[in-house]
């Protein structure tokens, strides 16, 4: 298109850390030419709390309550990685039942995270109402979490070798109820959002990342899967017991914001199905059933064997991280959440390096928004799905 050449002075505006649509305390220094974005420079560190350094003088047990403050929307994942790292280093076995409970919690947490993402993403491009709808369902998940763990967000539920406590009475039933209730709700969100012409025009073809590029930037999670790469650590790493479930990696080839939207919405559906499967396949079934079997069969029965425990052995407060180093990762809702752990046979880890997905995914932002309109910054940033708690740590 032919445009009249105008030379205007560029305007530098400062978005954040207190901008209404900045997620958390991200700050963007945006150079504008009229409505067009010329350059964008993210400034981080407003929420830096030395999470890695703190880990170096806390025992794992002491550190566990901290980790939910990394990514405070997908809390179960941070706990999972925090217990997985020393677990793998010290070769602590995890009972099957505990593993199933973990998977249920992780998938519920994934749904909660994606729900909030959906709300903020759509709110970022102007529709406020879905935000309230997703909170309705998210509150239900948090009700379930509260019943099982004692807290809505800061669960402190995972333990080295299992989880802190078994599921309470009736929890399995209610979780099933939730899953059946939730699927039609996703349809409802989709009716409200997916085909809305304004929404489509705002996100289609926006912030496109190619396949190669996505790999080269080190993206992970829905950012990567939205660009046509079928990469999901649950399938790649075979951790927990995900292999026993029947599920598919959700991906899309568009590479734009719409593709990422689709990936996340489909992941919510898939996770719901996985939770339902877990509830069905869990060794011992619901806790009340397990109790009944134990009462009936006596103390020496198979119902008291390792498979049916929620934890292999309660970790002692002086649990030592053995010497050695390794990298463990889980597929968090935002992408690959990893921990590089170096132990030196001490109660404190020697090094605790966190690889937060949001931080890595965020680096692609400036190149995505360059040349776009100012309103697109919000849409693209929303589709990247960052949480400053884990970006800054």
Q: Which of residues 4-43 bind another protein (CB under 8 A)?
A: 11, 13, 19-21, 32, 35
| Residue 378 found at the interface with another protein (CB under 8 A) | yes
143 versus 302: smaller Cβ distance to another protein: 143
144 versus 245: smaller Cβ distance to another protein: 144
**Are the CB atoms for 302 and 296 separated by under 8 Å?**
no
Buried b (16+ CB within 10 A) or exposed e, 367-389: ebbeebebebbbbbbbbbbbbbb
Distances from the Cα of 50 to the Cα of 69, 122, 254, angstroms: 12, 32, 37
**Are the CB atoms for 211 and 225 separated by under 8 Å?**
no
Distance CA 129, CA 122 (A): 9
214 versus 278: smaller Cβ distance to another protein: 278
| Selected binder of another protein within 149, 227, 272, 309 (CB under 8 A) | 149
Measured N-to-C along each axis, helices 257-281 and 374-384 cross at an angle, to the nearest 10 degrees, of 20
Number of residues that bind another protein (CB under 8 A): 75
Minimum CB separation from another protein for residue 177, in Å? 6
Residues 176-235 contacting another protein, CB under 8 A: 177-178, 181, 188, 191-193, 195-199, 201-202
Instruction: Count CB atoms within 10 A of the CB of residue 210.
Output: 11
**Are the CB atoms for 190 and 265 separated by under 8 Å?**
yes
Alpha helices in the chain (DSSP H): 51-55, 60-67, 75-90, 96-124, 129-149, 171-193, 197-203, 211-216, 222-225, 233-236, 257-281, 287-297, 357-362, 365-369, 374-384, 388-392
| Residue 344 found at the interface with another protein (CB under 8 A) | no
| Residue 89 found at the interface with another protein (CB under 8 A) | no
| Residue 324 found at the interface with another protein (CB under 8 A) | no
Binding segment toward another protein, per CB under 8 A, in 85-93, 143-151, 234-242, 352-360: 143-151
148 versus 364: smaller Cβ distance to another protein: 148
| Residue 91 found at the interface with another protein (CB under 8 A) | no
Residues 57-86 contacting another protein, CB under 8 A: 58-59, 61-66
Contacts of 171 (CB under 8 A, 6+ apart): 144, 147, 148, 286, 287
| Selected binder of another protein within 243, 244, 295, 324 (CB under 8 A) | 295
CA 143 to centroid of chain Cα atoms = 18
* SS3 category, 329: strand
| Residue 296 found at the interface with another protein (CB under 8 A) | yes
| Residue 143 found at the interface with another protein (CB under 8 A) | yes
DSSP lists the bridge partners of residue 158 as: 163
Residues 260-289 contacting another protein, CB under 8 A: 286, 288-289
Minimum CB separation from another protein for residue 375, in Å? 5
193 versus 224: smaller Cβ distance to another protein: 193
Minimum CB separation from another protein for residue 194, in Å? 9
Minimum CB separation from another protein for residue 261, in Å? 12
CA 141 to centroid of chain Cα atoms = 14
48 versus 191: smaller Cβ distance to another protein: 191
| Residue 371 found at the interface with another protein (CB under 8 A) | no
Instruction: Count CB atoms within 10 A of the CB of residue 391.
Output: 27
| Residue 320 found at the interface with another protein (CB under 8 A) | no
């Amino acid at each position: 298109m032919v445009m009249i050449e105008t030379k205007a002075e560029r305007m530098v505006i400062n978005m954040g850390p207190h901008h209404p649509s900045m997620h958390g305390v991200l700050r963007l220094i945006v150079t504008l030419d009229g409505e067009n974005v010329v350059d964008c420079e993210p400034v981080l560190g407003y929420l830096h709390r030395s999470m890695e350094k703190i880990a170096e003088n806390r025992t794992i047990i002491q550190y566990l309550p901290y980790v939910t403050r990394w990514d405070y929307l997908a809390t179960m994942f941070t706990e999972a990685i925090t217990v997985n790292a020393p677990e793998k280093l010290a070769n602590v076995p995890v009972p099957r039942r505990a593993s199933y409970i973990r998977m249920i919690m992780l998938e519920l947490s994934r749904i909660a995270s994606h729900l909030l993402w959906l709300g903020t993403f759509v709110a970022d491009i102007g529709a406020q109402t879905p935000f309230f709808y997703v909170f309705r369902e998210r509150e239900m998940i948090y009700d379930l979490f509260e019943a099982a763990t004692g807290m809505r967000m800061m669960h402190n539920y995972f333990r080295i070798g299992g989880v802190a406590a078994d599921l309470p009475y009736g929890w399995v039933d209610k979780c099933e109820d939730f899953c059946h209730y939730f699927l039609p709700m996703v349809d409802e969100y989709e009716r409200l959002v997916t085909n809305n012409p304004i929404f489509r025009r705002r996100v289609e073809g926006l912030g496109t990342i190619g396949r190669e590029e996505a790999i080269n930037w080190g993206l992970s999670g829905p950012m990567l899967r939205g660009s046509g790469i079928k990469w999901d650590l649950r399938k790649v790493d075979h951790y927990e017991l995900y292999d026993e479930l029947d599920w598919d990696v959700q991906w899309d080839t568009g590479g734009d914001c719409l593709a990422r939207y689709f990936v996340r919405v489909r992941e919510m559906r898939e996770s719901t199905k996985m939770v339902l499967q877990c509830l069905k396949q869990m060794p011992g079934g619901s806790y009340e059933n397990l109790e009944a079997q134990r009462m009936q069969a006596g103390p020496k029965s198979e119902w008291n064997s390792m498979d049916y425990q929620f934890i292999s052995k309660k970790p002692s407060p002086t649990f030592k991280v053995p010497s050695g180093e390794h990298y463990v990762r889980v597929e968090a809702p935002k992408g690959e959440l990893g921990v590089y752990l170096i132990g030196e046979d001490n109660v404190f880890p020697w090094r605790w390096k966190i690889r937060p997905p949001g931080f890595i995914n965020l680096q692609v932002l400036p190149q995505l928004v360059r040349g776009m309109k100012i309103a697109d910054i919000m849409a693209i940033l929303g589709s990247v799905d960052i949480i400053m708690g884990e970006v800054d740590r």
